[in-house]
Amino acid sequence: MLAGDIGLELGLRVADALKAALDVDITPVEALIRPAAPGRGADYQCNVAMSLAKRLGRPPRDVAAALVEHLDAADLVEPPEVAGPGFVNLTLRRDWLQEHTSRLLGDDRLGVPEARPRRYAIDYSSPNVAKEMHVGHLRSTIIGDAVVRLLEFAGHEVIRHNHLGDWGTPFGMLIEHLVDLGWTSGEHSIGDLDGFYQQARKKFDADPAFADRARHRVVALQGGDEPTLALWRELVRESERHFATVYELLGVKLTDGDYYGESFYNPFLDEVVDELEAKGLTEVSDGAVCVFPPGFTNREGEPLPLIVRKSDGGYGYAGTDLATARYWTRDRGATDLLYLVGTPQAQHFRMVFAASRAAGWLDDDHRAAHIGFGSVLGEDGKILRTRAGGTVKLVDLLREAVDRAAAVVGERSKQDPEGQGRVARAVGIGAVKYADLSGDREKDYVFAWDRMLAMEGNTSVYLQYANARVLSIVRRVGHDAEPGTPVVLAEPAERALAVKVLQFPAALATATEEYAPHKLCTYLYETAVAFSAFYESCPIAQAEDDRTRRSRLVLARLTSRALTLGLSLLGIEAPDRM
Ligand code: ARG
């Protein structure tokens, strides 16, 4: 058996003990097993006695004592100790640790079990046609891609869909503007999407005749007029070309085949209204067909509508999102819908989910979650903008990241200019991604080059260097550590590193289940730090004997595997040499 999630295993044992000792039922998670703080003299702490004490009306120390007495875990941990008000300190047995560490080298998954597969449909990136992607789309793309990788590694089926904003009233004015520019075929290209959008907008506001043409154009578009559709397709394709440059630079998994834009759901919109009406969920309000999901009110306490069909017969953002939920659950059999969209849209998604549950598209086995995130701020603490005050072009931002990274890594790899290009890309793009992933996603973060490219601290370049250093040591000392090579954990730093490596499955499980990549980042950083401490006090090449040398080599190789695998699940490359 592989170690798997040790905390969960301990939780199971604690749950069994409490059942035997006090006849209470808890889940392994409720056992509250936490990695102990360094210097506590234990690996894990169990805090369940405090939480049960009240429920049972007994002093926490008594609960802890009863638990310890009935705990059947002698194969795994040293005899447990009760500390303070009722903590139970758990220390893994050295022989257990040694055996499991040694075995882990034979496992590409580093002890991570495969989940019972579910089918996820994940909506991420989702920019808008004829507009530059902004940093909000950058966050959606980066976090979404990490979530995709985490879920796939866990063994789930993941369908990516890019909910491109490619439909709606602005397209009338955009297409008319194209016509004015003399577009007829695909030989043209828009250099600057935002500029194009703003010009169209300006004309629309200033020129009533243009505005009139734009409105007719919307009707033609929605009516399926072929020449209009042809121009619309050009516009969409041109925007997709822009987005492809960003995806390519980022190295994300999104491809051209993943677009399911708003227009994709058009054919289903009438059926959605019919179905909602048939289920008695709609009300007509000011001519619009609405759903009023219970519990949503405005400041005046009036019920808030989700507008399914507007009074002019057209459909908007909300109607399309209802069709989206219905399509992925009903037509594509998705069990889990994930939406990677900024937190300002939280209420929209809560309402869409509530309406979808009422319609029966979501239920206990068809779940939906909005994975929100905060904004990217400039160093002045305001929403990130260019110096001129415009929106930051992502392509420029990413190219700058690679240039800056080249300067950071440049001095160290002058002999290998080609390799340096690849390393600069890994470091630069990695820095942008890691800065986005390493903080709690719900919070805003400040985009600061110096911080994200710092060699010390919780940054990707620190982890990349740590990994390259481990690999260079392994190259120097030799590869003669195979799975099954005995591991001896004599020094505290060796033991600490082994415990860290064995916690990989637990760290990954938390990051995956909570859609919290930052928890994986923290784990990787701690692992790199544990390796540093280990390498300072435990020489490998100069180890006192061959057995120790090979044992330490196992630890080094496992460290590199944890770092490489962990980074790859965040979508970040870990170069072998830097
Ligand atoms: N295009 C939207 C925006 O830029 C995001 C779409 C998110 N996905 C969705 N199904 N609503 O704000």
Shared-domain flag, residues 282 and 178: no
pLDDT at residue 192, rounded to an integer: 77
Confidence check: pLDDT of 437 > 90: yes
- My answer on whether 191 and 83 are in the same domain is no
From ligand 1's centre to the CA of 307, what distance in Å? 16
Residue at 452 is within a domain: no
What was the pLDDT predicted at 1? 46
Locate 394 and state its tokens.
């992502």
Q: Is residue 370 domain-shared with residue 227, that is, in the same domain? A: no
Does residue 416 surpass a pLDDT of 80? no
Which ligand 1 atom sits closest to the C-alpha of 128? 1
What number is the average pLDDT over the span 18-42? 91
Q: Identify the three-state secondary structure at position 239.
A: helix
Residue 275 lies in a domain: yes
The atom number, within ligand 1, closest to the CA of 165 reads 1
Mean pLDDT within 393-417: 82
CA torsion 178→181→185→189, rounded to 10°?
A: -90
In a domain, 359, yes or no: yes
How remote is the CA of residue 350 from the centroid of ligand 1, in Å? Answer: 14
* Nearest partner of 503 among 79, 41, 34, judged by Cα: 34
pLDDT in tens, 45-82: 999 999 999 999 999 999 999 999 999 999 999 999 99
pTM of the model: 0.94
Phi, psi (deg, nearest 5) at residue 474: -60, -40
Burial of 277 from C-beta contacts in 10 A (0-12 / 13-18 / 19+): middle
- Identify which has the larger pLDDT, 3 or 8: 8
Indicate whether 15 and 160 sit together in one domain: no
* Whether residues 371 and 271 fall in one domain: yes
| pLDDT of 264 higher than 90 | yes
Nearest CA to ligand 1 atom 3: 127
pLDDT of 565 strictly over 50: yes
In a domain, 504, yes or no: no
- Based on the fold, state whether residues 218 and 351 are members of the same structural domain: no
Instruction: Give the H or E element holding residue 310.
Output: none
Does any ligand 1 atom lie closer than 6 A to the CB of residue 126?
yes
Rounded mean pLDDT of 523-536?
A: 98
Residue 289 CA to ligand 1 center (angstroms) comes to: 22
Q: Domain span at residue 196?
A: 169-238
Question: Region 434-451: what's the mean pLDDT?
Answer: 96
Whether 442 is covered by a domain: the verdict is: no
Same domain, 135 and 218: no
Span 222-233, average pLDDT: 92
Q: How many CB atoms lie within 10 A of CB 188?
A: 12
Residue 155 forms part of a structural domain = yes
| Furthest C-alpha separation in the chain | 88
Instruction: Report the number of distinct structural domains present in the chain.
Output: 3
- Determine the distance separating the centroid of ligand 1 and the alpha carbon of 381, expressed in angstroms: 25
Same domain, residue pair 160 and 295: yes
Which DSSP symbol is given to 263? G
Cα of 251 vs centre of ligand 1, distance in Å, is: 21
User: Per-residue pLDDT tens for 473-509?
Assistant: 999 998 777 888 999 999 999 999 999 999 999 999 9
CA 127–ligand 1 middle distance (angstroms):
7
Q: Which of 343, 360, 375 is the last residue of a domain?
A: 375
Residues of the chain with pLDDT > 70, as a percent, come to 97
Query: For residue 3, what pLDDT is reported?
Result: 61
Same domain, yes or no: 272 and 369? yes
Q: Is the CB of 163 under 6 A from ligand 1?
A: yes
Q: Do 211 and 174 lie in a common domain?
A: yes
Query: Domain for residue 559, yes or no?
Result: no
Q: Which residues have C-beta within 8 Å of that of residue 103, sequence separation ≥ 6?
A: 2, 483, 484
347: domain CATH number is: 3.40.50.620
Mean predicted lDDT score pLDDT of the chain: 93
Query: Is there an atom of ligand 1 within 6 Å of 320 CB?
Result: no
Q: Which of 375, 394, 421 is the last residue of a domain?
A: 375
Write down the pLDDT at residue 415. 63
Residue identifier of the C-alpha nearest atom 8 of ligand 1: 163
297 found inside a domain? yes
Least confident of 93-102, 156-165, 195-204, 486-495: 195-204
Q: What is the CATH number of the domain that holds 41?
A: 3.30.1360.70
Pair (201, 145) in one structural domain: no
Cα separation, 95 vs 84, in Å, equals 28
- Domain boundary (375, 398, 415) is at 375
Establish whether residue 239 lines the binding site of ligand 1, counting it when its CB lies within 6 angstroms of any ligand atom: no
Q: Is the pLDDT of residue 435 over 70?
A: yes
Q: Which of 163, 243, 306, 326 to mutate to test the pocket of ligand 1 (most atoms within 8 A of CB)?
A: 163
Those residues whose C-beta lies under 8 Å from the C-beta of residue 476, and which sit 6 or more positions away, are 541
321 Cβ below 6 A of ligand 1: yes
Residue with the smallest CA separation from ligand 1 atom 9 is 163
Same domain (yes/no): 280, 316: yes
